[in-house]
A and B are shown apart, each in its own frame.
Chain A
Amino acid sequence: QKEVEQNSGPLSVPEGAIASLNCTYSDRGSQSFFWYRQYSGKSPELIMSIYSNGDKEDGRFTAQLNKASQYVSLLIRDSQPSDSATYLCAVNEGFQKLVFGTGTRLLVSP
């Protein structure tokens, strides 16, 4: 069974700080990686996708991928209280199927 591991948290950061969320995966052959944000009681919302080693930036969000070490991370700069949510890491396992981690809960305090 292919696995995606995330620290459940909560990760607490003050407003304006950088939040760093990490994810490791077991399948060395995975090619596609995704970060979703899920507010309490709501469905997951796609934040970022990343396919190549290195960094990908979109506004305050930066996804980082290191295939050799089998980890993917999400940095949130200038964290806001509205960023408080659970962040799900998902990894493609082939045949357009994704494996999801259990999520990291982020709390941004004003």
Chain B
Amino acid sequence: DGGITQSPKYLFRKEGQNVTLSCEQNLNHDAMYWYRQDPGQGLRLIYYSQIVNDFQKGDIAEGYSVSREKKESFPLTVTSAQKNPTAFYLCASSPREGSTDTQYFGPGTRLTVL
């Protein structure tokens, strides 16, 4: 089955810890994205990558870092510098070729700071 997987589904972090959220896709999509969703709010873009070994900051990149060493993988690290990391984190991907810019989402990771 083709799709986007995120792990873990739930993650608990102590203050001062860095944690890494996994995102993998086997859709052969070029572009990948990380969003954050807080209760009652829309999705806010953290980072995005349109090609391997390249990525750009989104609207709320402070306190986060990413890497894109493989086309299939786009892990997100939530660092201790992120002051309010408790949120629902969504990874998405999009085919860059052709006319479509549709984004497809993984199941999400819910991060809670203890």
Partners in one complex: yes
Q: Which residues of A contact B50 (CB under 8 A)?
A: 95-96
List B63-106 residues whose CB lies under 8 Å from chain A. 90, 94, 96, 100-106
Number of B interface residues, CB 8 Å? 22
Looking at A41-49, A57-65, A75-83, the stretch in contact with chain B turns out to be A41-49
A25 interface residue, CB < 8 Å from B? no
> Is there an interface contact between A98 and B41, defined as CB atoms closer than 8 Å?
no
Give the residue of B31, B43, B96, B100 whose beta carbon is less than 8 angstroms from that of A44.
Answer: B43
In the bound complex, CA of A60 to CA of B90 (Å): 27
Q: Dominant SS at the B interface?
A: loop
Which chain B residue shows the least CB distance to A89?
Answer: B42
**Smallest Cβ-Cβ distance to B56: which chain A residue:** A95
> Which chain A residues border B31 with CB–CB below 8 Å?
96
Q: How far is the CA of A94 from the CA of B40 in the complex (A)?
A: 25
User: Beyond A46-B103, A100-B35: 7 further Cβ-contacts under 8 Å?
Assistant: A4-B42, A42-B107, A43-B105, A45-B105, A46-B104, A96-B50, A96-B96
Q: Which 8 A-B pairs have the closest CB atoms?
A: A100-B42, A102-B42, A100-B43, A43-B105, A43-B108, A96-B101, A44-B105, A43-B107
- Residues of A near any B CB (own CB < 8 A): 4, 8, 32, 34, 36, 42-46, 49, 88, 90, 92, 95-98, 100-103
